[in-house]
């Protein structure tokens, strides 16, 4: 039955890809998009196999533990559908009799919440709702999340394809086909929801920046910002400076872009640190510092984390953050490297990081200048990659977790590379070398 449902839902989503206007992209056929979607599904099954046969501990593995808690929440629909609506919406979900469900879950509550929303509940609720249509078969959830994630990536692709149609194939690879991104954003994990919401935040923002004001774009933007807020709050924080920067640059018609970009970031960080002084419960430097300390303490207690790395201990001060930022960036950009491969799970990210080094070198030696009008969303890419990589590098003392947490920024890093590398010069040089050897 599970196989039949998986095939049926796959065919249904392929049908939507072929019929919906959103997926109509000039120069990119529905057949290509359908193949990319099938690759997403294959990646979802791959991460499921990894969690089943490599990590093995189903109780602690993210991909299964939230599914099991989702079953508990879903069970309420048989007893009282209104209770189910309360549980999945969060509205009126604090009534005492719902404790009968909360007490049966293992991850509905977090040991450390840092005065922030509990993002575990978002993926648990996704599973609870999906169970209505999956009849309890886990791999059907894989299909659902693969499509949701794929839709978000398509939104990202459409934003950048508007500016770089001549780089179609490179853009497809950068957005859809980076291996670590495929693996971690296709299965039943929070990252799928993150990429969906992130993609549509950019998509709706691009529409509004193009002066195409429609209420559907405004409402869509509000909804996806909220979804990202409850899925991965730190990713939302990482995109805010970039979005405000490109809005300001657009307002000034791309003039003085660098100065506007820098000024907006400085202004946002000043406002941000002033805000946390006034509202001490939301002191981000203290929250990030505590999060790092708790992460380090947790892996020290486990004492069996093979990918643990030493990172400087953060203090809840701006000076400590600035001092440790270079080390954070080095870890996020270049680790794990090829000399840190300890298992097959390290192979792909290590090769990707080697490729990142190569791409940096190519960008230096084969730099290509682009026109001002095409630079707008590249400013966002630069901002988002740097901020997310700093946050991940500062707080994550485990290489495996670092690979996963930085995944949302990886497509944008490769978009930067393919934008500024002159591949024609590389091809010409290669041809000249071949001719010279002959």
Highest mean pLDDT: which of 90-94, 208-212, 389-393? Answer: 389-393
Residue 39 has pLDDT above 80, yes or no: yes
Output 424 or 278, whichever has higher pLDDT: 424
Residue pLDDT, tens place only, 119-128? 899 999 999 9
Beta carbons within 8 Å of 25's beta carbon, 6+ residues apart: 33, 154, 157, 158, 161
Q: What is the mean pLDDT of the chain?
A: 91
| Whole-number pLDDT of residue 428 | 86
Q: Cα dihedral sign for 273, 275, 281, 287?
A: negative
Which residue, 146, 365, 376, is CA-closest to 249? 376
| Whole-number pLDDT of residue 5 | 96
| Whole-number pLDDT of residue 32 | 97
SS (H, E, C) 32-86: HHHHHHHHHHHHHHHHHHHHHHHHCCCCCCHHHHHHHHHHHHHHHHHHCHHHHHH
Which residue, 30, 329, 47, is CA-closest to 179? 47
* Percent of the residues in the chain that have a pLDDT greater than 90, as a whole number: 68
pTM: 0.94
| Whole-number pLDDT of residue 303 | 61
């Amino acid at each position: 039955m599970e196989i039949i449902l998986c095939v049926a839902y796959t065919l249904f989503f392929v049908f939507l890809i072929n019929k919906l206007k959103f997926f109509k992209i000039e120069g990119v056929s529905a057949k290509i998009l359908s193949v990319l979607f099938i690759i997403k599904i294959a990646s979802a099954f791959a991460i499921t196999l990894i969690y089943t046969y490599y990590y093995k501990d189903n109780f602690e593995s993210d991909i299964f533990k939230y599914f099991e808690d989702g079953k508990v929440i879903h069970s309420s629909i048989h007893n009282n559908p209104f209770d189910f609506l309360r549980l999945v919406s969060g509205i009126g979900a604090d009534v005492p009799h719902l404790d009968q469900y909360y007490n049966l879950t293992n991850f509905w509550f977090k040991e450390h919440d840092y005065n922030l929303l509990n993002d575990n509940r978002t993926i648990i609720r996704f599973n609870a709702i999906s169970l209505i249509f999956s009849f309890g078969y886990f791999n059907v959830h894989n299909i659902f999340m693969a499509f949701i994630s794929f839709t978000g990536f398509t939104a990202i692709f459409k934003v950048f394809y508007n500016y770089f149609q001549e780089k179609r194939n490179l853009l497809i690879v950068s957005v859809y086909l980076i291996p670590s991104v495929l693996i971690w954003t296709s299965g039943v994990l929070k990252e799928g929801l993150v990429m969906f919401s992130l993609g549509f935040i950019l998509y709706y923002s691009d529409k509004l920046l193009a002066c195409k004001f429609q209420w559907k774009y405004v409402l869509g933007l509000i909804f996806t910002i909220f979804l990202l807020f409850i899925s991965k709050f730190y990713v939302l924080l990482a995109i805010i400076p970039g979005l405000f920067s490109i809005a300001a640059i657009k307002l000034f018609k791309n003039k003085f872009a660098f100065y506007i970009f820098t000024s907006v970031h400085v202004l946002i960080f000043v406002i941000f640190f002033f805000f946390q002084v006034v509202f001490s419960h939301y002191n981000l430097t203290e929250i990030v510092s505590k999060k790092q300390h708790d992460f380090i303490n947790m892996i020290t207690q486990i004492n069996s984390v093979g990918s643990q790395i030493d990172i400087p201990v953060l203090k809840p001060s701006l000076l400590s953050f600035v001092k440790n930022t270079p080390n954070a960036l080095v870890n996020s950009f270049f680790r794990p490297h090829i000399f840190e491969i300890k298992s097959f799970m390290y192979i792909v990210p290590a090769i990707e990081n080697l490729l990142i080094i190569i791409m940096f070198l190519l960008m230096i030696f084969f730099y290509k200048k682009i026109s001002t009008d095409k630079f707008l969303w590249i400013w966002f890419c630069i901002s988002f990659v740097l901020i997310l990589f700093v946050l991940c590098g500062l707080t994550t003392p485990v290489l495996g977790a670092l690979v996963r947490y930085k995944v949302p920024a990886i497509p944008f890093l490769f978009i930067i590379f393919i934008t500024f590398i002159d591949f024609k010069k590389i091809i010409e040089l290669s041809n000249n070398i071949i001719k010279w050897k002959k």
